[in-house]
Structure 1
């Protein structure tokens, strides 16, 4: 049974999370969210608060007097362009924008950790709490790492979590090596020549090329989760010509998302796709252009970092699931784990919780204490 102070703390964090949920902001526009975070951090007495990091990012630094490991914990600030269907009191006040990935909850977990660090100052080492912008579009991690204000931060370890529906609340989901895949989006544009719809032979219509490219690229998919060549290829958008019935089309646009377990595999697929589009465009006398956008690096979980996560879960008697295969969604924390030793783990958010990115999703506040305690226990283990 929880004592009164624990209940009060949970209520405090829940109220903060609901305020964030009410006023969501899209990637690269998280100004008010960042300000709300800064105001909370000021109450926690870090030695430094860095703002406007990689955009609207915020970093709080806590430091002990003795030397020790530098450990970074990361959460995300941004929301999604999804209209909320929920009708509770803390529903989104911004039409067409809502927290449907739980970033409001992840941010709240880091605030909870900051509040613990205020009450239990570090004796040694350095903790960085990073509130990262622009995770959803894949730009945030790279922008933070490229920012001059981040250059002096040299983590020995980096950690992050993500809530995961369809797992019991509070379950800790771990995996060595790849935790999430390498992901990219491909935009293909094809340009031919218009003609009268009655005389298509006098123009160059991209319709057949569009069909051939879809079939050829989709054939590269491998849906066997246990395969080293596992690949998900999804057609997300396509358009051809215009609604002018006297004109044979001259323009087509096609978008895919491609995801696979490793960066090397993704690079190989990118070369194959490039060749496919080039050859089919040449066959149909079309000009073409490829744009690779919204790229997410694979989360490369370090064995030592995963061991800290396992020990933290075990010491708290949290349920642990060792996942045999990576999750299929992209996460730009991979940009950090490709550069620093670290790991991401999953935090079960309930078997009845709507799926991530669904319009009726809402972060379950009951799991906030699990996330806070996991991060704080990792710190205690690190500096034991």
Structure 2
């Protein structure tokens, strides 16, 4: 763990995380969380603070005296619409909302990084700490990048971490190449005609179309090993007609999540799914409409960025365990990789720790200092190497 944060720093960062945990905000409604972040950043004296970025995003800029590359470290602002069930003293005070993915811990980590950068600016280039809005619904990264002010702080390098239960506490997972799958939700609405339940032939029911589509869609994406060509279709919601015994239904709704390892494969899966749905609707005389939601792009770890993180993990004495990447789960970090050399590592929350999005999940406070140490070292290494010759860089 980094020795640059004092015990007082760590205690204050834990208290900051607990305050965030008590008051989670949902995606695109992170006004209060953003204000708390800005207040926590002010004592570190950033050269610039951008607020309202892509919604409620916050970016803090720490400028070195000599021009150089821009290195961005990113975390997330939002919580989840899940009722927390734990009995911890700092549990959520807002019914139906909880920081049950660890974004409160990620924010505390970046505030810790801000303390180090405020006390000792980069010698060249600049560091940008991004507190991204709306990660949980996949809309935040695109909104941040589309904000005209992002061009003024656009990174050459981008790093992030995510805690991960199932990995030993304080260990890490990292590898170059695919890291997180692309995914998107497809909401399907069918419209036919109701009839009396004694005369179903007088109506147009979606029942048979729905019964046929559920297994057929699943066959388009059977899952399996997370390797090139991976496709997974998950039925997440189905509803048909009214809860009445006397009515043959005239409408239905089906929600599915589509998942692929690569963005290009997602295009093909979406096309296959839409064509299948349209054929079934037509065969049963149904009108159909479809809409896409929660669009997440694939995340790919750049080899050079991964190398910097790996060296930082090794230097900080963090064990790197194999077998956890790529993940089926999605993460709204992939778009930054189209703008910069980017990489994300997973930081172990404990093998028996409650899983992400579980109602009793809580971020391990012990990870805050660990994350600060790794990210600070990687950031410094990138900026310091910007001034070295190719021969010096090769000798690292």
TM-score above 0.5: yes
Q: Using the TM superposition, give the Cα deviation of residue 142 of structure 1 relative to its aligned residue in structure 2, in angstroms.
A: 0.7
Does the aligned pair in 2 maintain the 1:191–1:252 contact within 8 Å? yes
1-side partners of 2:31 and 2:3: how far apart?
36
Alpha-carbon distance in 2 for matches of 1:303, 1:326: 14
Q: For 1:314-353, what aligned pairs fall within 5 Å after superposition?
A: 314-323=314-323, 325-353=325-353
Secondary structure of the structure 2 residue equivalent to 1:365: coil
Mapped to 2, the partners of 1:86 and 1:314 lie a distance apart of 34
Q: Using the TM superposition, give the Cα deviation of residue 92 of structure 1 relative to its aligned residue in structure 2, in angstroms.
A: 0.4
Q: CA deviation at 1:223?
A: 2.6
Distance 2:113 2:170 in 1: 17
Structure 2 SS opposite 1:255:
strand
Deviation at 1:2, TM superposition (A): 9.8
1:376 aligns with 2:376: yes
Match of 1:179 in 2: 179
Q: 1:151-230 counterparts in 2 under 5 A?
A: 151-230=151-230
Counting matched residue pairs gives 384
Cα 1:382–1:338 change in 2 (3 A) is same
What is the Cα-based RMSD across aligned positions, in Å? 1.5
Say whether 1:354 aligns with 2:354. yes
Aligned-pair distance for 1:245? Answer: 2.3
1:58-73 pair list within 5 angstroms: 58-73=58-73
Is the contact made by 1:222 and 1:229 (CA closer than 8 Å) also made in structure 2? no
- Give the alignment's TM-score, normalised by structure 1: 0.97
- What is the CA-CA distance between 1:88 and the residue it aligns to? 1.6
Tell me if structure 2 keeps the 8 A contact 1:71–1:127: yes
1:294: which partner in 2?
294
- The answer (yes or no) to whether the contact 1:297–1:338 under 8 Å persists in 2 is no
Q: Note if contact 2:2-2:370 (Cα within 8 Å) is conserved in structure 1.
A: no
Query: How much does 1:89 deviate?
Result: 1.3
Structure 1 residue runs of 4 or more that deviate by more than 4 Å after TM superposition: 1-5
Structure 1 unaligned regions, length at least 5: none
Distance 1:95 1:272, change over 3 A: same
What TM-score, normalized to structure 2? Answer: 0.94
Question: 2: distance between equivalents of 1:185 and 1:367?
Answer: 32
Query: What is the CA deviation profile of residues 199-240 of structure 1, one whole-angstrom value per residue up to 9, with x for unaligned ones?
Result: 110110000000111111001223321542222221111000
* CA distance in structure 1 between the aligned counterparts of 2:63 and 2:44, rounded to whole angstroms: 13
Q: CA deviation at 1:161?
A: 0.7
Q: Superposed, which structure 2 residues align to 1:263-302 within 5 Å?
A: 263-302=263-302
Q: Does structure 1 retain, via aligned residues, the 8 Å contact 2:171–2:319?
A: yes
Is it true that 1:233 corresponds to 2:233 in the alignment? yes
Query: Does structure 2 retain, via aligned residues, the 8 Å contact 1:299–1:338?
Result: no
1:240–1:251 CA contact under 8 A, matched in 2: yes
